[in-house]
Amino acid sequence: MGVDGIFLHFLKNEIADYAVGAKIEKIFMPSKYELVFNLRTRAEARRLFFSVGGNAPRFNFTAASPENPAQPPMLCMLLRKQLTGAVIRGVRQAGLDRIVFFDMDAADEIGDRVKRTLAVEIMAQYSNAILLDENGVVIDALKRVDATKSSFREVLPKLPYRLPPPQDKYDIREVSPEQAVQRIVSYENKALSSALLNTLSGVSPLIARELAYRVTLGDPAVSALSATAKERLLYELDALKTLVEAGKAQPCWLTDANGAYLDFSYLPLTLYANDAQRHSAETLSEILDQFYFEREKLRRAKSKAEDLFKSVAALKERTAKKVNVQREELAACADREQKRVWAELINANLYSLEKGASVYEVQDYYNDYQTVAIPVDPLLTPSQNSQRYYKEYRKAQTAQKILTEQIEKGMADLAYLETVEDELSRAETEKELTEIRFELSGAGMLKSRTGTKNKKNAPLPPLRFTSPNGFPVLVGRNNTQNDELSFKKAAKNDWWFHAQKAPGSHVILVCSGEEAPEEDMEFAAKTAAWFSSVRERGTVEVDYTRVKNLKKPPAARPGYVIYHVYQTVYARAEKPQG
């Protein structure tokens, strides 16, 4: 469900219980539409997370620590200048609209106390976070809105802040349930859920369907409501009014049979009946955090990986075109032996050939002395024509050798770039993407970004799992780490696993001199199948061998190894849990 106005009413109260009186210690922007305020009171510290992206706009306390860019955006620097050290004095909502204001006591450049307000609008793709001064003038916003985007309401620095136009709906706190029912039944031709949406402010489609289900176990037209149903509707609206006025939510979330998240709400949901399992939570922040964070983390990583995906795709296309051209040139060298033979036949018959002829007819002693016609340049002497064919032969012979090497190198580059695409598909953090970019730069595939330091931070450790009997299983995150694992960290008698003839991670089963039981070998094989580009097949062929059997050819690309002593097992791709 989306975060509606009544949800925000409860969430606002929940946030205010801690945030009012808290000091903003630090401000971060994990992405262009996300903010994190590190808050501190005398008792504890918490992170207040804001997102105004179109996918999941919200704000909530989070236990997670979103990864931040190495260089903070200019807007982040402005917010730090305006709000670092500010104290939150109040959290208020505009009626039951999806707009919440965080009022703060801050300090200006010379240390005078000033009022600052962060207006957070949770409105799907129109969501925004807008910083206002003490006069309600916009200082800046996460999303600037000019006249080309909205003729009614511009959101730009130095313009006064304006609320969105109000809707003609009832605030459940300000009307009686009887008034609300009277208006609902006036929408005779609408479904009950639609009539509820048109009547009540702050109610989402999910809550409207839930109320309709509680009243009728369905969603009939308003005209079909019986007197009993109208009495039931009156009861449900009265209960909703009491809940909102009390200001205490009843957080819940639903999962399907596979444990996947379905929905969440501030009141118990019954409309899914037996098709979902209901769970309770202590706070709405807890629900939002677990419902969205993992999904958003992956989305952020994929978004940041887009430019790398495009770069790798362009490199693959360019390399493939180059290889095709080289293959065509190599095919043109196929007649080089014929040119050598013609040069020898002309040389052997110099005494009988004369300058000026365009064709030499000689006997081919390589082919039972049959007569062969050799095209020549009439402006050259027979000796010069012979030397010309010798020269073309030697040129073609050299070209064949060079082209064959270049084609092999091009094919190796294509195979390497496929492994990089596999790495990118599994990268979940900006640091992983940074290491992949450094890997490509080190391999000469990409230029280092202008204005960025080439100095790397401490590298990420390999992924680490534990087999059923307690043996460590290490998984390389990228090709550079694969090399580190296989040739520097692993012992000679450790076991090495890799999906057969497919891009994937190097997986090391660390034995420490012991013999690994069969179930641990199977665990490592399943891990190698999972961390490969072919895991969607379900069952994957996995090669395994002792680390001592691995060899790395000179000048080979990162992650490339050869081995001749190995065994192969069919393993089901399963995400390791150890």
Question: Residue 2 in contact with residue 123, Cβ under 8 Å?
Answer: no
User: pLDDT at position 454, please?
Assistant: 45
pLDDT tens for the chain, 578 residues long, are 668 999 999 999 999 999 999 999 999 998 889 999 999 998 899 999 999 987 789 999 998 887 788 789 999 999 999 999 999 999 999 999 999 999 999 998 888 899 999 999 999 889 999 999 999 999 999 999 998 888 789 999 999 999 988 889 999 999 999 999 999 999 999 999 999 999 999 999 999 999 999 999 999 999 999 999 999 999 999 999 999 998 888 898 888 877 777 889 999 888 887 778 888 888 999 889 888 876 666 666 667 778 788 888 999 999 999 999 988 888 877 778 888 888 888 888 888 888 888 988 888 888 888 888 989 899 999 999 899 988 988 888 888 889 888 998 999 999 999 999 888 888 877 788 888 888 888 888 887 665 444 445 678 899 999 999 999 999 999 999 999 999 999 999 999 999 999 999 999 999 988 999 999 999 999 999 999 999 999 999 999 999 999 999 998 999 999 999 999 999 999 989 86
**In a domain? residue 331:** yes
Structural tokens at position 315:
């490199």
Q: Compute the chain's Rg from CA coordinates.
A: 36
Range(s) of the domain holding residue 71: 5-141
Are residues 393 and 420 both part of a single domain? yes
Are residues 405 and 361 both part of a single domain? yes
**In a domain? residue 27:** yes
CB within 8 Å of 180: residues ≥ 6 apart: 170, 172, 199, 200, 237
Query: 559 phi and psi, to 5 degrees?
Result: 90, -10
Query: 364 phi and psi, to 5 degrees?
Result: -90, 105
Which residue among 90, 120, 141 closes a domain?
A: 141
Are residues 456 and 319 both part of a single domain? yes
User: pLDDT at position 298, please?
Assistant: 63
How far, in Å, CA of 133 to CA of 440, rounded? 46
Are residues 215 and 193 both part of a single domain? yes
Are residues 319 and 437 both part of a single domain? yes
Q: How many CA atoms lie within 13 A of 82 on its CB side?
A: 22
Are residues 99 and 237 both part of a single domain? no
User: pLDDT at position 571, please?
Assistant: 95
Question: Residue 108 in contact with residue 85, Cβ under 8 Å?
Answer: no
Are residues 326 and 274 both part of a single domain? no
User: pLDDT at position 561, please?
Assistant: 95
**In a domain? residue 260:** yes
Q: Identify the helix (H) or strand (E) that includes residue 245.
A: helix 227-246
Are residues 430 and 486 both part of a single domain? no
**In a domain? residue 306:** no
DSSP result, 124-138 = GGG-EEEEE-TTSBE
CB within 8 Å of 240: residues ≥ 6 apart: 6, 172, 211, 267
Q: How far is CA 53 from the centre of its chain?
A: 15
The enclosing domain of 224 has a CATH number of 1.10.8
**In a domain? residue 171:** no
Are residues 317 and 454 both part of a single domain? yes
Which residue among 421, 437, 460 closes a domain?
A: 460
User: Amino acid identity of 561?
Assistant: V
Are residues 110 and 10 both part of a single domain? yes
How far, in Å, CA of 309 to CA of 425, rounded? 9
Are residues 321 and 449 both part of a single domain? yes
Question: Residue 160 in contact with residue 137, Cβ under 8 Å?
Answer: yes
**In a domain? residue 299:** no
The enclosing domain of 90 has a CATH number of 2.30.310.10
Structural tokens at position 180:
């609300």
Domain count, the chain: 4
**In a domain? residue 483:** yes
**Count of CB atoms situated within 10 Å of the CB of 370:** 9
DSSP result, 269-336 = --TTGGGSEEEE-S-HHHHHHHHHHHHHHHHHHHHHHHHHHHHHHHHHHHHHHHHHHHHHHHHHGGGH
**In a domain? residue 495:** yes
Structural tokens at position 363:
């006997």
Are residues 206 and 69 both part of a single domain? no
Which residue among 402, 428, 460 closes a domain?
A: 460
